[in-house]
Amino acid sequence: MPTVLEALKNRSSKRAYTDKKIPKDILEKILDAAGMTPSGANMQPWVTYAVTNEETLKKVGDAVIAKMDEGIMNDQDVQYYPVKWTNPYKKRRIVTGAGLYKLMEVDRKDNETRTQMWKDNFRWFGASTVIFVFTSKANIEGASGAFIDCGAYMQSIMLAAQEFGIDSCPQGSTTEFGRVISKELGVSEDLALLYSVVLGYSDEESKINGYQPDKVNLKEAVTFID
Ligand SMILES: Cc1cc2nc3c(=O)[nH]c(=O)nc-3n(C[C@H](O)[C@H](O)[C@H](O)COP(=O)(O)O)c2cc1C
């Protein structure tokens, strides 16, 4: 069983999974533990849909891919990525993307393969469990606390999963199609999709799962005032 530090250091986003299903009791343990995540005023603003129904996941994925094929770039309640990319974040994004495509031997100009790789998000990278996290639209009207709380909740899910040898990939790609997904899942119109997390047993043979992008070192990331 990994220590917390090991789970933090060893987790990385996995984008290929085996067919093995997560037993329901383990999924419940992960989500129950994640429910202990702290939140401002103990608001617990996450509203979680844990979807393992194959038909539902296919239906949701089909609906998003259909939108993409119509040339629709997003249909969202929440803008996840910066509207204005500035450095050093822009550079990190480019380096991270380029590293993944290099590993997969995909040319920078090969838009078809790149689009296909992006669409894999909506085939859940072959995983059979996807956690969709919503919050009330009222929570994020002119306030950002719920984003912070639900971000912490995301990491709790991913770390708790590590204890059971379960890997994950957080998804902001689904945020971009939040309205389509909400409709397909039949969730209340009062809710906005913040993100999803794919959970499963990673395919250790697959090349893509070997990708571990560089992280900023401690000295650059943290200003110590001793
Ligand atoms: C909020 C959030 C949204 C993300 N969205 C996606 C996504 O839609 N598709 C994807 O393949 N990876 C996505 N990622 C994974 C990031 O690309 C990944 O966390 C980052 O490159 C660092 O790699 P690591 O998770 O292996 O440490 C997302 C991560 C976060 C935290």
Query: Would the pLDDT of 108 be above 90?
Result: no
Residue 135: per-residue pLDDT: 98
Residue 48: per-residue pLDDT: 98
User: What's the 172 CA to ligand 1 centre distance in angstroms?
Assistant: 7
Neighbours of 167 (CB within 10 A): 25
> Among residues of the chain, what percentage have pLDDT more than 70?
100
> Average pLDDT for residues 80-95, to the nearest whole number?
97
User: What's the 41 CA to ligand 1 centre distance in angstroms?
Assistant: 28
DSSP E strand stretches across the chain? 47-51, 129-136, 167-171, 191-200
C-alpha distances out from residue 32 to 57, 126, 183, Å: 22, 24, 26
Q: Is 15 touching ligand 1 by the criterion CB < 6 Å?
A: yes
Q: In this structure, which amino acid lies at residue 113? A: T
Cis ω on the peptide bond leading into residue 88 (within 30° of 0)? yes
- Say how far apart CA 206 and CA 195 lie, in whole Å: 25
Q: Is 128 touching ligand 1 by the criterion CB < 6 Å?
A: no
Ligand 1 atom closest to residue 15's alpha carbon, by position in its atom list: 11
Q: Which two tokens stand for residue 12?
A: 């990385």
User: Which amino acid residue places its CA nearest to atom 6 of ligand 1?
Assistant: 171
- Average pLDDT over all residues of the chain: 97
Residues facing residue 132 across a β-bridge = 49, 196
Residues facing residue 17 across a β-bridge = 202
User: What's the 55 CA to ligand 1 centre distance in angstroms?
Assistant: 25
**137-196: per-residue pLDDT in tens?**
999 999 999 999 999 999 999 999 999 999 999 999 999 999 999 999 999 999 999 999
User: Which amino acid residue places its CA nearest to atom 15 of ligand 1?
Assistant: 170
Residue with tokens 């239906």: 59
> Average pLDDT for residues 113-132, to the nearest whole number?
97
Can you give 30-77 as a three-state secondary structure string? HHHHHCCCCCHHHCCCCEEEEECCHHHHHHHHHHHHHHHHCCCCCCCC
**162-175: per-residue pLDDT in tens?**
999 999 999 999 99
User: Which amino acid residue places its CA nearest to atom 10 of ligand 1?
Assistant: 171
Residue 145: per-residue pLDDT: 98
Domains of the chain, CATH where assigned: 4-81+123-206 (3.40.109.10)
Residue 1: per-residue pLDDT: 87
Q: Is 169 touching ligand 1 by the criterion CB < 6 Å?
A: yes
Ligand 1 atom closest to residue 212's alpha carbon, by position in its atom list: 26
C-alpha distances out from residue 191 to 39, 76, 78, 139, 141, Å: 18, 12, 11, 9, 12
User: What's the 29 CA to ligand 1 centre distance in angstroms?
Assistant: 23
Spatial neighbors of 223 by CB under 8 A, at least 6 apart, are none
User: What's the 8 CA to ligand 1 centre distance in angstroms?
Assistant: 15
- Say how far apart CA 26 and CA 199 lie, in whole Å: 11
User: What's the 12 CA to ligand 1 centre distance in angstroms?
Assistant: 9
